[in-house]
Amino acid sequence: MIDYRKLAHRFRQLYGDEPRVFRAPGRINLIGEHTDYNGGFVLPMAIERETAVAVRPRNDRRIHAHTLNYGESAEFDLDSVDTVATGPVWVRFVEGMARIIDSDVTRLRGANMMILSDVPPGAGLSSSAALETAVGFALISMTGGNVDRIALAKAGQRTEHDYVGAQVGIMDQFVSAHARAGHALLLDCRSLGFEHVPIDTARVSVVICDTNVKHDLASSEYNVRRAECETAVRLLQADLPNITDLRDVSEAELDEYGTRLPQTIRLRARHVVTENARTLEAADALKLGDMNAFGWLMWESHRSLRDDYEVSSGELDTMVEIASRIEGVLGARMTGGGFGGSTVNLVARERVRHFTEAIEHEYLRATGIAATVLISNACGGASEAKIELQDESSATGASRR
């Protein structure tokens, strides 16, 4: 967890002013992978890793941002087209959010910001969505207006498209903005209707295992998959003229008309169509507290991502295979975009310690790489962090204005 008081203290040291602090979490996806940009369903939850932004409005329209993670700063002017988004990646997220919110959501004031995150980058835990959401939430809050969380999530998604070149769906930003503690979030990515579904943490724990092999979402494969899905829709429209997304296609229809698709395109479509069905089934299982059924769907999801969608990696497969041999594991699968990153494991509570030891040991033995294991409750979405700034500043004697 982020030490907000330390962040506020560092902010005062740099800017000489008292900040407010906003935070937004990273996420794992329990099931529903690569369905969001196909108009389908996802079931993510926010994790206890987050990005915090200390912020204070300025009297001009300049945004100055400093990240404690990299010790770097950037500054740009909302009234000038001069961009700094050619610099480090984190700057692109900040500038993208600021400019997109300013043009599409609400006119912003300039601001000084300091950023601190404990979401590991490249682990498939949506460090970028946490950054976008926290920055956007902080900047909108400085206008004095209410935060429209759907507009916030959409601005995050557009930032990925326009400033990073990753054609992502809406899942990560949406859950970072809308999550509720103790709950997973069932989201219909077409209508953006959603439901909070409680997770029975008395019986099971969600254990995240980072393969520590980094992926690059902006790299071509994610966008290739998205284009393949669009091709599938276009070809299937010959027989199914009313479909607009793969979400509209049933398994029976794919069996009947899919034979006309090129092999690779058919496999991609099969993953999406079956994953959508699994996600709705998993949400029902979660509501009924049937965690065995939920776990079974997770194994199936991994198989489909590995064989049909081909977005897994050797390390992810090894991690899931090891989990399948450990007692008390109800289900395991890769989570997020793929090509590295983390697995999510549903583990009987009393077996968590044994699981952690076994997976660390076996994964190291099989790959020579040390895994990072994180056990997380489902936490709440973006919010203002409550800190007792008063106490801290008098203790440190920091300057105030």
| Residue 77 bridge partners (DSSP) | 62
Decide: is 300 part of the binding site for ligand GLA (CB under 6 A): no
Q: Which two tokens stand for residue 74?
A: 């950037």
Nearer to ligand GLA, 9 or 34 (CB): 34
Q: Find the binding residues for ligand GLA in span 339-398 (CB under 6 A).
A: none
The stretch near ligand GLA (CB under 6 A) out of 28-36, 105-113, 144-152, 359-367 is 28-36
Binding segment toward ligand GLA, per CB under 6 A, in 1-9, 27-35, 203-211, 262-270:
27-35
Catalytic residue among 102, 172, 210, 308: 172
* Contacts to ligand GLA from residues 266-285, by CB under 6 A: none
Token pair listed for 61: 């329209």
Angle at which helix 127-141 crosses helix 171-178, to 10 degrees, equals 50
Give the C-alpha distances (Å, rounded to integers) separating 42 from 260, 339, 347.
28, 19, 21
Q: How far apart are CA 385 and CA 22, in angstroms?
A: 5
Helix (H) or strand (E) holding 390: helix 389-396
- Closest distance to ligand GLA from the beta carbon of 167 (Å): 9
When the beta carbons of 62 and 214 are compared against ligand GLA, the nearer one is 214
Closest distance to ligand GLA from the beta carbon of 76 (Å): 25
Looking at 26-34, 90-98, 140-148, 238-246, which segment touches ligand GLA (CB under 6 A)? 26-34
- Integer Cα distance of 340 and 317 in angstroms: 10
Cβ 217 to ligand GLA, closest distance in Å? 6
Q: Tell me if 26 contacts ligand GLA by CB under 6 A.
A: no
DSSP code at position 87: S
Q: Report, in Å, the least distance between residue 337 CB and ligand GLA.
A: 3
For the stretch 121-139, what's the b/e string if a residue is b when 16 or more beta carbons lie within 10 angstroms of its beta carbon? ebbbbbbbbbbbbbbbbbb
Give min distance, CB of 333 to ligand GLA, in A. Answer: 11
How many DSSP H helices and E strands does the chain contain? 12, 12
Report how far Cα 328 is from the mean position of its chain's Cα atoms. 27
- Is residue 60 flagged as an active site residue? no
Q: Under a CB-based contact definition with an 8 Å cutoff, are residues 299 and 312 in contact?
A: no
60, 99, 193, 376 alpha-carbon torsion, rounded to 10°: -80
Stretch that binds ligand GLA, among 100-108, 168-176, 354-362, 386-394 (CB under 6 A): 168-176
| Complex with ligand GLA: residue 34 or 183, whichever CB lies closer | 34
H-assigned helices in 244-288: 251-257, 263-288
- For ligand GLA, the binding residue among 102, 172, 248, 315 (CB under 6 A) is 172
Length of the chain counted residue by residue: 401
Q: Quick one: 168 or 269, whose CB is closer to ligand GLA?
A: 168
Q: Which is nearer to ligand GLA, 33 or 245 (CB)?
A: 33
C-beta neighbour count of 388 within 10 angstroms: 10
> Binding string to ligand GLA for residues 32 to 61, with x set by CB under 6 A, is what?
-xx-xx------------------------
Which 310-349 residues touch ligand GLA, going by CB under 6 A?
A: 336-337
Stretch that binds ligand GLA, among 30-38, 110-118, 148-156, 276-284 (CB under 6 A): 30-38
Give the residue with the Cβ less far from ligand GLA, 20 or 271. Answer: 271
Q: Is the CB of residue 80 less than 8 Å from the CB of residue 73?
A: no
> 311 vs 385, which CB is nearer to ligand GLA?
311
Strand positions, DSSP E, 276-359: 329-334, 342-348
What sign does the dihedral 346-350-353-358 (CA atoms) show? negative
Q: Which residues bind ligand GLA (CB under 6 A)?
A: 29, 33-34, 36-37, 168-169, 171-172, 336-337
Active-site residue list: 172
